[in-house]
């Protein structure tokens, strides 16, 4: 149960931060540089916020969880992120799932998949860094 609580809270905080960063991106970067470039500017900002969120949550409630449990929590949060993204993006844009994936360019898709990978692993990586005192 604690794993799901950690994963759910990790997901909610990160999605909230992403929403805020996305609003700033759309108001400031998007008109000047275009959608793809604005998304690529947003990606490193989100990676830093993901890592900070994971670190704070591990410190607050994940210190009693094992690295394996944090991997599961990260995978659970990533699953929530993928499903919510598909539901919202496909629901809002009206794309069929196959069209949704085919319309993204390679760079954007690679950055998105890399971000998901980092998102899933961050809690466990933070825990490992804490236990080794790096």
| Contacting residues for 94 by C-beta, under 8 A, at least 6 apart | none
Radius of gyration, CA atoms only, the chain:
16
Q: Would you place residue 99 in the very low, low, confident or very high pLDDT band (cuts 50, 70, 90)? A: low
Please give the distance of CA 12 from its chain centroid, rounded to a whole number.
10
Give the Cα separation of 68 and 71 in Å (integer). 5
pLDDT at 10: 96
Contact (Cβ atoms closer than 8 angstroms) between residue 74 and residue 127 = no
How large is the average pLDDT for residues 15-38?
82
Dist CA 6 CA 9 (whole Å): 5
Greatest Cα-to-Cα distance within the chain, rounded to the nearest angstrom = 48
Q: Which residue has the higher pLDDT, 130 or 48?
A: 48
Angle at 107 between CA 103 and CA 108, to 5 degrees: 55
Predicted confidence (pLDDT) at residue 55 exceeds the cutoff of 60 = yes
Instruction: Evaluate if residue 134 carries a pLDDT over 60.
Output: no
């Amino acid at each position: 149960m604690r794993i799901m609580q950690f994963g759910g809270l990790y997901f909610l905080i990160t999605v909230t931060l992403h929403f805020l960063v996305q609003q700033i991106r759309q108001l400031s970067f998007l008109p000047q540089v275009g959608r793809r470039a604005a998304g690529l500017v947003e990606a490193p900002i989100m990676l830093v916020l993901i890592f900070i969120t994971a670190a704070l949550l591990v410190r607050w409630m994940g210190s009693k969880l094992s690295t394996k449990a944090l991997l599961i929590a990260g995978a659970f949060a990533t699953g929530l992120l993928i499903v919510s993204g598909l539901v919202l993006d496909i629901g809002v844009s009206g794309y069929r799932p196959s069209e949704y994936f085919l319309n993204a360019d390679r760079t954007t898709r690679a950055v998105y998949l890399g971000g998901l990978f980092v998102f899933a692993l961050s809690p466990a990586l933070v825990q490992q860094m804490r236990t080794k005192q790096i």
